[in-house]
Chain A
């Protein structure tokens, strides 16, 4: 499992004065589902283009399947399937014909390509639409056809650039399940770029967080939250005590009561709610204490840090740096 399939070293891409990707070091192992996370313009797509040899890095080296995509782009593209953002097909032709064309470009004969295309169309659930013109496909269908298009070359790695953008929630669910299933069945390495945190969290083994061309952090979700939230991995939101808005004394007393609890690290006021950071799960203690101290408890929510929080934490951090 420790076989490295993608290695980036000091990868930098500059457009004039603008640095799109800055000193990127990253390695991805075979069979991983890796998520590239970040806001728009963070350098995710540029990194992907460099992985495929579609654009040359200004500095640094790329190795994909032990091949350098700068000098041998065609070799790399034999092994790597790439689904571009908002993929398009030849609209005059049916989905099947589009797939057969891609198959033939990848060195399959027409009959082989057809056979394989039909099989993949079955797997991606497009049987009913195989002979329909690609121009009539919906966004979600196009994305699924794109997945079939990527798979027809029997890739070792598939790279999906914003694959779930603009698909309805049900479609996203299906699409992600398909990716997970594929990566398990075919032992594919999947790289997945998105700014949809929630979905990435569901499927990725590991994520890398991109901001302004830099990889801020990488690791699985737990490691990331550990890294970010340090010794306060739990957070609990409770309703504010009545009168606390008008009367700061009440608020202060409330705070002190909670801070007296074992495991509570910090109590903050946030958007008409109290936000409690704890080193361990003390939800039950908190609710008991609040009620016993004569406050009212109308709302309590135990928060688990997800990518959302990681994401926002980073952007807050990023802004604070400036």
Chain B
């Protein structure tokens, strides 16, 4: 009897030590593993970004705004639920969209701060390496040149994705704890899609600033250019579009509803050149299922509709062009950065 317990004990100890040993061996293995140079650079870039002060500052800003908007959403959520609300089944999504007017909602914050994050991460991607003399040293290593720019993009994108998903899930978790209402599967999918879309949106700005970092020799120039483009689209672009529409509209025809419709569509068409408009329309549709159309609707089109939320598939269908445009822009900027980087002759400093 004693013997068997002893044996069991021995076996157990063996099992545990064996497990420890294998765990230890596993760890040791990781250090001994030869990684593909591409992965090495990605790891390096991620480490480089996450250790930098700028990243800590950016993440602090975004975490603070998240907490702020979550707080306003949570304190107003009881007022937002109305007995006959067709969107009543989507209470959870309101965490991301609700605001009492003092602080913007989560999605507004993301559409505002996302560009800052993208620009902040990418503006010195290439030129700082060139200026510090590390680029020519890196190019002398047995790697293909595009590994550098690709790995930077992938590394930064990984950082952004991890950050957004962590924030999004944190908001969800706090929401569950505070409200006591779990998200429905559809709500969960919508939130995940929203987070993915945010990553694409930030990637768009990221690639733009990587392009500037290839184009401009001084990091300060590329940062300022990136920020100017961002300010242009958020502040001045709507003003300019309004001016143009006002300028070209003919007051004689304004009485005609078809003409008004035409003007409205024209304005929307112009506005959609701004990436932030595309993003806020797309996220709005994803997180507010009651949004049924992104353009003007006539009374005839509305007659006979039953107010109710759109199914997920229809919401996605509605924003598909937006997503395509954002991805296309991302790819375009990447190509703009990639081609000159590959062709350029890189000398030391």
A and B bind: yes
Q: Using a CB–CB distance below 8 Å, which chain A residues touch chain B?
A: 45, 49, 52, 54-55, 73-75, 77-78, 80-82, 84-92, 101-102, 104-112, 146, 149, 153, 161
- Tell me, in angstroms, the Cα distance from A101 to B134 when the chains sit together: 12
One of B37-45, B167-175, B225-233, B331-339 at the interface: B37-45
Is B141 within 8 A of A161, CB to CB?
no
Give, as a whole number of angstroms, the nearest-CB distance from B310 to chain A. Answer: 49
Chain B residues lying within 8 Å of A107, measured Cβ to Cβ, are 34, 37, 142
Partner of A106 from the list B134, B142, B144 (CB cut-off 8 Å) is B142
Chain B residues lying within 8 Å of A101, measured Cβ to Cβ, are 40, 44
Which of B41, B51, B142 is most buried by chain A, counting CB atoms within 10 A of its CB? B142
Residue B35 interfacial (CB < 8 Å): yes
Which of B37, B51, B136, B345 is most buried by chain A, counting CB atoms within 10 A of its CB? B136
Chain B residues lying within 8 Å of A104, measured Cβ to Cβ, are 35, 37, 40
Chain B residues lying within 8 Å of A89, measured Cβ to Cβ, are 132-134, 137
Partner of A92 from the list B31, B51, B144 (CB cut-off 8 Å) is B51
- Tell me, in angstroms, the Cα distance from A81 to B140 when the chains sit together: 7
Chain A residues lying within 8 Å of B134, measured Cβ to Cβ, are 88-90
What are 5 contact pairs spanning A and B, CB under 8 A?
A: A102-B137, A102-B141, A107-B142, A109-B35, A110-B33
Is B132 within 8 A of A105, CB to CB?
no
Known: A87-B348, A105-B142, A106-B141. Is A111-B133 also a contact (CB below 8 A)? no
Is A88 within 8 A of B32, CB to CB?
no
Residue B56 interfacial (CB < 8 Å): no
Residue B139 interfacial (CB < 8 Å): yes
Known: A88-B133, A149-B137. Is A105-B348 also a contact (CB below 8 A)? no
Is A49 within 8 A of B345, CB to CB?
yes
Known: A90-B134, A105-B41. Is A55-B31 also a contact (CB below 8 A)? no
Is B31 within 8 A of A110, CB to CB?
yes
Is A78 within 8 A of B32, CB to CB?
no
- Tell me, in angstroms, the Cα distance from A49 to B46 when the chains sit together: 29
- Tell me, in angstroms, the Cα distance from A229 to B142 when the chains sit together: 44
Main secondary structure of the interface of B (DSSP, over half): loop
Residue B100 interfacial (CB < 8 Å): no
Chain A residues lying within 8 Å of B82, measured Cβ to Cβ, are none
Give, as a whole number of angstroms, the nearest-CB distance from A166 to chain B. Answer: 12
Give, as a whole number of angstroms, the nearest-CB distance from A221 to chain B. Answer: 28
- Tell me, in angstroms, the Cα distance from A108 to B349 when the chains sit together: 28
Is B140 within 8 A of A88, CB to CB?
no
Is B34 within 8 A of A49, CB to CB?
no
Closest 9 CB pairs between A and B?
Answer: A88-B133, A84-B348, A82-B140, A84-B136, A88-B132, A77-B142, A78-B142, A111-B31, A105-B141
Chain A residues lying within 8 Å of B51, measured Cβ to Cβ, are 92
- Tell me, in angstroms, the Cα distance from A90 to B133 when the chains sit together: 9
Known: A45-B347, A49-B345, A90-B134. Is A77-B37 also a contact (CB below 8 A)? no
Is A74 within 8 A of B144, CB to CB?
yes
Closest-by-CB residue of B relative to A135 is B132
Closest-by-CB residue of B relative to A78 is B142
Residue B52 interfacial (CB < 8 Å): yes
Is B345 within 8 A of A90, CB to CB?
no
Chain A residues lying within 8 Å of B140, measured Cβ to Cβ, are 52, 54, 77, 80-82, 84
Chain A residues lying within 8 Å of B37, measured Cβ to Cβ, are 104-107
Closest-by-CB residue of B relative to A102 is B141
Give, as a whole number of angstroms, the nearest-CB distance from B337 to chain A. Answer: 19
Q: Would you list which residues of chain B between 115 and 174 have a CB under 8 Å from chain A? A: 132-134, 136-144
Is B31 within 8 A of A84, CB to CB?
no
Is B142 within 8 A of A49, CB to CB?
no
Interface string of B193-204 (1 = CB under 8 A from A): 000000000000
Residue B48 interfacial (CB < 8 Å): yes
Residue B81 interfacial (CB < 8 Å): no
Give, as a whole number of angstroms, the nearest-CB distance from B41 to chain A. Answer: 7
Closest-by-CB residue of B relative to A89 is B134
Chain B residues lying within 8 Å of A81, measured Cβ to Cβ, are 140
Closest-by-CB residue of B relative to A80 is B140
> With A77-B141, A106-B141 given, can you name 14 additional A-B contacts, CB distance below 8 Å?
A45-B347, A49-B347, A73-B144, A84-B137, A84-B347, A88-B137, A104-B35, A106-B37, A107-B34, A109-B31, A110-B30, A110-B32, A110-B33, A111-B32
Give, as a whole number of angstroms, the nearest-CB distance from B179 to chain A. Answer: 43
Give, as a whole number of angstroms, the nearest-CB distance from B135 to chain A. Answer: 8
Closest-by-CB residue of B relative to A149 is B137
Partner of A54 from the list B40, B52, B132, B139 (CB cut-off 8 Å) is B139
Chain A residues lying within 8 Å of B139, measured Cβ to Cβ, are 54
- Tell me, in angstroms, the Cα distance from A107 to B40 when the chains sit together: 10
Chain B residues lying within 8 Å of A82, measured Cβ to Cβ, are 137, 140
Is B346 within 8 A of A90, CB to CB?
no
- Tell me, in angstroms, the Cα distance from A34 to B306 when the chains sit together: 85
Is A55 within 8 A of B348, CB to CB?
no
Q: Would you list which residues of chain B between 43 and 101 have a CB under 8 Å from chain A? A: 44, 48, 51-52
- Tell me, in angstroms, the Cα distance from A146 to B48 when the chains sit together: 20
Partner of B345 from the list A55, A108, A146 (CB cut-off 8 Å) is A55
- Tell me, in angstroms, the Cα distance from A52 to B143 when the chains sit together: 12
